[in-house]
């Protein structure tokens, strides 16, 4: 009797052309699964889709999503596609609710129609707002202070209701600050416009960007600058594979913080960038940015218990070091 190999799971990855999504596709492929990317390329990059097919489509197009779930014989979904700039969400709230909440409405409708019941969702520590204490654990109140965080919390509620109504099984993964890039240098972080601290500090240090503005130096933190928990994007990607395996093995619903448990201040990031690049980071002190809580650090204990997940890259210099080559000054053409 011949044994056929077990069927490789086919996973729809919405937003799979983006920063975290593309790293996740690589991790899924390494784990023997087939990532089928669904992305409208408004903020993602087609050349980051390298581990499976790319289907171009909008998140709010429920009929198209249902058609893709059926035609691509999808077993499970990982949903990244969303707008994710805190500052922009404060300026353009309706745009955030339309895309992030509207996208989830269309996705859940399509999944229910096609009988796909497994969903890993890209949530955020922004759903906690300004926490009473750090480190933050999953039992703490979720009270977001900006439209981005609110849109993610609404999506968590929608999944909870879908679980009761029609048996959705889901994992809400609340990321802290995704950072770094693929240690094998196959994928990078590319945002347009770039608003994230580490890329901007690298560009400032290497002379390819403007001096960095340090948003707030009067926070109630040890050096007065904001503290965040920077987790390597390849660690985040691996956590998605573990969450998917756990759901497919019968666990769920899951609500998990993904962080390292260590806080790093803006000033400490500038110091790390200086050590990694050998250049000081030109910077100026600026007012606080709207929507920024002073300190966000994860208690990673629950993800460790449930998934056996532990961040592998915990040294901030290594995390910055994986991102740095992508922000080097382009070689200058000799002028004749
Ligand atoms: N910062 C600066 N100057 C800059 C950019 C950022 O001082 O030019 C500071 C911010 O004020 C913040 C820290 O650096 O204190 C990190 O800022 P990022 O913009 O890199 O990241 P955020 O913390 O704003 O956002 C990230 C994710 C969001 C997520 C959020 C949770 O990008 O998706 O964490 O707070 F929701």
How much of the chain, in percent, has pLDDT values that exceed 90?
90
Q: How do beta strands 34-39 and 54-56 pair?
A: parallel
Residue pLDDT, tens place only, 89-140? 999 999 999 999 999 999 999 999 999 999 999 999 999 999 999 999 999 9
- The whole-number pLDDT of residue 87 equals 86
Going from the Cα of 158 to the center of ligand 1, the distance in angstroms, rounded, reads 26
Q: How far apart are CA 176 and CA 282, in angstroms?
A: 26
Residue pLDDT, tens place only, 2-56? 565 567 999 999 999 999 999 999 999 999 999 999 999 999 999 999 999 999 9
| Closest of 316, 304, 179, 298 to residue 234, by C-alpha | 179
Residue pLDDT, tens place only, 325-334? 998 765 434 3
- The whole-number pLDDT of residue 290 equals 82
Question: Is the Cβ atom of 200 under 6 angstroms away from ligand 1?
Answer: yes
- The whole-number pLDDT of residue 191 equals 84
Question: Is the Cβ atom of 134 under 6 angstroms away from ligand 1?
Answer: no
Atom 3 in ligand 1: residue holding the nearest Cα: 214
- The whole-number pLDDT of residue 331 equals 40
- What is the pTM assigned to this prediction? 0.95
Domains of the chain by range and CATH?
A: 10-178+231-258 (3.40.50.720), 197-228+262-328 (3.90.25.10)
| Closest of 81, 77, 78, 120 to residue 100, by C-alpha | 81
Q: How far apart are CA 17 and CA 1, in angstroms?
A: 42
Atom 36 in ligand 1: residue holding the nearest Cα: 126
Residue pLDDT, tens place only, 280-293? 999 999 999 987 88
Q: Strand pairing partners for 123?
A: 174
Question: Is the Cβ atom of 179 under 6 angstroms away from ligand 1?
Answer: no
């Amino acid at each position: 009797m011949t044994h056929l190999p077990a069927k490789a799971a086919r996973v729809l990855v919405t937003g799979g052309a983006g920063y975290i999504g593309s790293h996740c596709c690589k991790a899924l492929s390494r784990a023997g699964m087939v990532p089928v990317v669904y992305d409208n390329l408004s903020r993602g990059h087609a050349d980051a889709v390298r581990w499976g097919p790319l289907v171009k489509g909008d998140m709010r197009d429920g009929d198209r999503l249902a058609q893709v779930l059926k035609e691509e014989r999808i077993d499970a979904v990982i949903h990244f596609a969303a707008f994710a700039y805190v500052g922009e969400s404060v300026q353009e709230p309706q745009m955030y609710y339309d895309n992030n909440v509207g996208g989830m409405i269309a996705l859940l409708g399509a999944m229910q129609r096609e009988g796909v019941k497994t969903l890993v969702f890209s949530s955020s520590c922004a759903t906690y707002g300004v926490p009473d204490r750090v480190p933050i654990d999953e039992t703490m109140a979720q009270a977001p202070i900006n439209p981005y965080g609110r849109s993610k919390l609404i999506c968590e509620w929608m999944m909870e209701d879908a679980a009761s109504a029609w048996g959705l099984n889901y994992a809400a993964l609340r990321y802290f600050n995704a950072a770094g890039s693929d240690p094998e240098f196959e994928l990078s972080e590319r945002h347009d416009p770039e608003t994230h601290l580490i890329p901007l500090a690298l560009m400032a240090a290497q002379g390819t960007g403007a001096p960095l503005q340090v948003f707030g130096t009067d926070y109630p933190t040890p050096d007065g600058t904001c503290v965040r928990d920077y987790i390597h994007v390849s660690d985040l990607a691996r956590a998605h594979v573990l969450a998917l395996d756990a759901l497919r093995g019968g666990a769920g619903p899951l609500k998990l913080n993904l962080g390292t448990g260590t806080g790093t201040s803006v000033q400490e990031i500038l110091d790390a960038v200086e050590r990694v690049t050998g250049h000081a980071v030109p910077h100026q002190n600026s007012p606080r940015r709207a929507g920024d809580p002073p300190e966000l650090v994860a208690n990673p204990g629950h993800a460790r218990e449930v998934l056996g997940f532990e961040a592998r890259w915990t040294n901030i210099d290594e995390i910055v070091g994986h991102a740095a080559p992508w922000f080097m000054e382009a070689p200058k053409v000799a002028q004749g």
